């Protein structure tokens, strides 16, 4: 059993702690949150202790690994502390909002052999991974285009947006990673366009966008289009389309169930899509822990690595440069 401590007992940390607790090959060793009542609540509901400090978690011999689900600005520090303490890491995205900080973190942890996995949960989604496996098996011939639709159900509160670090680093980072995962090669060119269409005040007050489109191209010419919105009233819209020389593959949206209504004005009406990431990627989050246990116990390579986290952030920076200067940007223009 891999003894995992969960750091951060907020929105996603609570889910991770519960997933670790019910995972057949993992054990929830303890939880920690700087806001003690949050940790106490999770600790009590799952029957584990709440650590007094992060240092206490890293120093505890009963902890093999940590799952970092704290606020983004703490991730890089906690990765460094975990590696120094010899604990394997599963860290939520993004590593940091600042590329220089990610580069410094990479330098500090050096060529560690201790496993570090990034929380790019979409790589573990059964539909997305089946689509990729079929594509790699040659089902659609040569891959030409990847189309990623990624729309959140509702725009988050203003306080969240103020701290999130911008749509591209906070939200699109998942799509940049998925693009790389599906394309199988590095995008070398990026064009980005964004606007505050849902809440125009966002643009004026936070210099933030809530709707965006991206075009990416790899050195061999493969194309990718990413489409983001912070508000899709019909639910969490998560689709991936792979277009090849010999066909197309779609990994589609999920509904809570398959009931459909038929009436005089419309037919085949069903429920909105699953609301958000906790529901839509439920299986993916569990599979992510499965993959992490394999990394630590069997030496498997993480499906989403620290370097994947760094490269996705580089694409986000290239996209910001493109939007700002209204031009196609070479990814090599981004200096790490």
The Cβ of residue 14 has, within 10 Å, a number of other Cβ atoms equal to: 21
Token pair of 40 as six digits: 């106490």
Interaction pattern, residues 21-40, with ligand NAD; x per rule: CB under 6 A:
-----------xxxx--x--
If the CB atoms of residues 191 and 236 are measured against ligand NAD, the closer one turns out to be: 236
Count of residues engaged in binding ligand NAD, rule: CB under 6 A: 23
Given a contact cutoff of 8 angstroms between Cβ atoms, the answer to whether 51 and 30 are in contact is: yes
Q: What are phi and psi of 191, to 5 degrees?
A: -125, 130
Gap between the Cα atoms of 10 and 92, Å rounded: 12
**Residue 125 near ligand NAD by CB under 6 A:** no
Gap between the Cα atoms of 211 and 162, Å rounded: 16
**Residue 229 near ligand NAD by CB under 6 A:** no
If the CB atoms of residues 12 and 190 are measured against ligand NAD, the closer one turns out to be: 12
Gap between the Cα atoms of 21 and 15, Å rounded: 10
Gap between the Cα atoms of 182 and 257, Å rounded: 28
Interaction pattern, residues 53-72, with ligand NAD; x per rule: CB under 6 A:
-x--------------xxxx
Of 115, 119, 194, 235, which one interacts with ligand NAD (CB under 6 A)?
119
Applying CB under 6 A, the span of 5-13, 263-271, 297-305, 312-320 interacting with ligand NAD comes to 5-13
**Residue 8 near ligand NAD by CB under 6 A:** yes
**Residue 150 near ligand NAD by CB under 6 A:** no
**Residue 176 near ligand NAD by CB under 6 A:** no
Token pair of 317 as six digits: 């920076």
Q: Can you list the positions of beta strands (E) in 109-267?
A: 116-118, 143-151, 187-195, 211-218, 223-229, 237-244, 247-251, 260-261
Of 21, 87, 88, 93, which one interacts with ligand NAD (CB under 6 A)?
93
The residues of the shown chain that bind ligand NAD, judged by CB under 6 A, are 7-13, 32-35, 38, 54, 69-72, 74, 92-93, 119, 121, 277
């Amino acid at each position: 059993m891999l003894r995992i401590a969960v750091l951060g007992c907020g929105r996603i940390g609570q889910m991770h702690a519960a997933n670790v607790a019910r995972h057949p090959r993992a054990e929830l060793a303890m939880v920690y949150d700087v806001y003690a009542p949050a940790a106490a609540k999770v600790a009590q509901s799952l029957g584990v202790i709440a650590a007094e400090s992060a240092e206490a978690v890293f120093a505890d011999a009963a902890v093999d690994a940590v799952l970092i689900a704290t606020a983004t600005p703490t991730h890089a520090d906690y990765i460094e502390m975990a590696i120094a303490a010899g604990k394997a890491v599963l860290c939520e995205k993004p590593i940091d909002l600042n590329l220089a900080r990610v580069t410094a973190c990479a330098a500090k942890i050096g060529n560690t052999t201790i496993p570090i996995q990034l929380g790019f949960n979409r790589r573990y989604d059964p539909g997305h991974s089946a689509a990729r496996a079929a594509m790699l098996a040659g089902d659609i011939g040569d891959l030409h285009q990847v189309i990623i639709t990624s729309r959140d159900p509702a725009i988050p509160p203003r306080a969240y947006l103020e701290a999130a670090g911008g749509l591209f680093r906070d939200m699109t980072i998942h799509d940049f990673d998925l693009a790389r995962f599906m394309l199988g090669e590095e995008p070398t060119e990026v064009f980005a366009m964004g606007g505050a269409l849902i809440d125009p005040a966002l643009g004026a007050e936070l210099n933030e966008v809530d709707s965006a489109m991206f075009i990416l191209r790899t050195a061999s010419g493969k194309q990718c289009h990413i489409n983001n919105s912070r508000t899709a009233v019909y639910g969490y819209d998560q689709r991936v389309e792979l277009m090849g020389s010999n066909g197309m593959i779609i990994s589609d949206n999920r509904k809570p169930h398959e009931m459909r209504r038929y009436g005089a004005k419309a037919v085949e009406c069903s429920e909105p899509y699953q609301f958000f990431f906790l529901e839509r990627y439920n299986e993916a989050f569990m599979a992510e822990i499965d993959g992490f246990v394999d990394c630590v116990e069997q030496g498997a390579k993480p499906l989403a690595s620290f370097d994947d986290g760094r490269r996705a952030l580089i694409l986000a920076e290239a996209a910001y440069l493109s939007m700002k200067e209204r031009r196609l940007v070479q990814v090599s223009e981004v200096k790490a």
